[in-house]
Chains A and B, each alone.
Chain A
Amino acid sequence: GAVVSQHPSWVICKSGTSVKIECRSLDFQATTMFWYRQFPKQSLMLMATSNEGSKATYEQGVEKDKFLINHASLTLSTLTVTSAHPEDSSFYICSARDDSSSYNSPLHFGNGTRLTVT
């Protein structure tokens, strides 16, 4: 089956530093990837839609200068949390749609990244 690899699985960083999270589709091409954030006991909230070859589309309330997204190839999207603060601590999950699948085919999710900012 389709596999999405997300790295790192967890990271601890100091306040003010930047953290990069990678999302790779291992056995399929993904023009479109999605980045979600989940707070404890909350739903997965869509942060942005990442498009290969063009700028990401951010959801309302998400700071694009803080959460930098780069979709460098058809198998890789990265999310960089810049100047991280403790309130950015969360579980970040990426997902991807297989370009060869139909519109309503389910998204494939990575295993997530637990970010803790101290």
Chain B
Amino acid sequence: DQQVKQNSPSLSVQEGRISILNCDYTNSMFDYFLWYKKYPAEGPTFLISISSIKDKNEDGRFTVFLNKSAKHLSLHIVPSQPGDSAVYFCAAKGGSEKLVFGKGTKLTVNP
């Protein structure tokens, strides 16, 4: 049973526009959420995180929003750049160090 779901396998946006990547979770025990970016044949690199006590966290062009009642979080990238093209993984944890990952969304930013 998938506890972290990324229902969009891919997303394509134009350079300069906003990219919105979505993630849903089912486990109410999750209290910390992270987004990782991954290029082919490389390990994931950390992008941004949010604690369940917050509903928004911003770092430069990246903002993560958390809606606990809906068990939903999203990553906004604005403005999107071609270098942002990668696979983005949503991950969650709660009560332990174990991270549970979604299947990822492949973002393509077109010049």
The reply on B45 being an interface residue by CB < 8 A is: yes
Cβ-defined contact, B103 with A111, below 8 A: no
Q: How many residues of A contact B (CB 8 A)?
A: 26
Task: For B46, list chain A residues within 8 Å (CB).
Answer: 106-108
Q: Could you tell me if A43 and B43 are in contact, using CB atoms closer than 8 angstroms?
A: no
Q: CA A6 – CA B103 in complex, angstroms?
A: 22
Cβ of A109 < 8 Å from any Cβ of B? yes
**Interface size bracket, B side:** 20 to 34
On whether the beta carbons of B101 and A44 are closer than 8 Å, the reply is yes
Nearest opposing residue in chain B for A94, CB measure: B43
Known: A41-B9, A104-B49, A104-B51. A46 touches B42 (CB 8 A): no
Indicate if the CB atoms of A44 and B49 lie closer than 8 Å.
Answer: no
* Shortest beta-carbon distance from A80 to chain B in Å: 20
Residues in B whose Cβ lies below 8 Å from that of A114 = 41
Given A95-B43, A111-B43, also A43-B97 (CB < 8 A): no
B43 touches A109 (CB 8 A): yes
- Cα separation A37 to B102 with both chains bound (whole Å): 13
Q: How far is the CA of A112 from the CA of B87 in the complex (A)?
A: 15
Least CB distance, B72 to chain A, in whole angstroms: 17
Given A6-B43, A112-B41, answer yes or no on A43-B104 (Cβ-Cβ < 8 Å): yes
CB < 8 Å: which of A42, A46, A109 contacts B44?
A: A109
CA distance A6 to B41 in the complex (A): 12
Kindly list chain A residues whose C-beta atoms are within 8 Å of the C-beta of B9.
41
Residue interface mask B15-56, A partner, CB < 8 A = 1? 000000000000000001010100001111110010100000
Complex Cα distance, B36 from A59, in Å, reads 22
* Chain A residues packing against B (C-beta within 8 Å): 4, 6, 9, 32, 34, 36, 41-46, 49, 93, 95, 97, 103-104, 106-112, 114
Contacts from B to A (Cβ < 8 Å): 2, 4, 9, 32, 34, 36, 41-46, 49, 51, 89, 97-104
Inter-chain pairs besides A44-B101, A97-B97, A112-B42, 6 sampled, C-beta below 8 Å = A34-B99, A44-B99, A104-B51, A108-B46, A109-B43, A112-B43
